[in-house]
Amino acid sequence: MKRVAVIGAGTAGLAAAWAAAKAGASVTVYESHEKVGGTTALSGGVSWLPANHLSDDTIEAGLEYMRSLELGDVDRELVEVFVRDSGPVAKRLEDETSLRWAALPYPDYHSEHPGGRPQGGRSLEPLAFDAPDAVRSLIRDAPNRWGTITYAELWAGTADPAELAARKERGTFTAGQALIACLLEACFELGVEVKTGQRITSLPEADAVIITSGGFERDEQQIGRAHV
């Protein structure tokens, strides 16, 4: 059995750990914080995923839009992989985990560009999620966020005060915490080991190491270590 080490327990790390475990690997996730979630847990949890299964978007339109944003420092092959894989990954997560998405009518930031969508549909939000205790105890607090309303409810004005109060009483997760909780639950179900409070300064012993720590791609010192 292949051993896979994942550094960082945000969305990217947990999704990678889940996929590796689904493929039959023995997976360990290392997180420097005492709780899981990284900056995702502090965020709205909205993922920009073109050509997803909840919209009428197309891969061709997504590629056209991404190419219109180029500033000369982009790997076109990686961009194409991202656009082509976004939809299938979003649907697979919904089909095989507790994660459920809602498509938001947020326009693209530059919807005036070729391939842009002023009507939205590329931004997906996790629905509210009641996590089991083993998961709940590991999710990072989000003191910067308030309430349990979702963006979809806020946008449409459909929030039910009684339901919001019930979510607060139950400790229901929304936004980034909901996304993390769903992925963490899926990882636990596959036997993924999650080690918190583990600051990694050298590559762990494993057949493959996946680095998803925040800001890594802009840190020349960390990149240099990874290539040694």
Write the DSSP string, 125-183: EEPPB---HHHHTTBPP-TT--SS--HHHHHHT---HHHHHHHHHHT-B-HHHHHHHHH
Reference 195, options 13, 9, 7, 29; nearest CA is: 29
Q: Which two tokens stand for residue 199?
A: 């600051």
Predicted confidence (pLDDT) per residue in 126-142, tens digit: 999 999 999 999 999 99
Predicted confidence (pLDDT) per residue in 173-191, tens digit: 999 999 999 999 999 999 9
Distance CA 62, CA 115 (A): 6
Once rounded to an integer, what is the mean pLDDT over residues 201-214? 91
2, 26 contact by CB (below 8 A): yes
pLDDT at 227: 47
Q: Which residue has the tokens 């918190």?
A: 196
Q: Which two tokens stand for residue 224?
A: 């240099």
Q: What percent of the chain has pLDDT over 90?
A: 86
pLDDT at 224: 52
| Mean confidence (pLDDT) of the chain | 93
Q: Which two tokens stand for residue 67?
A: 């190419």
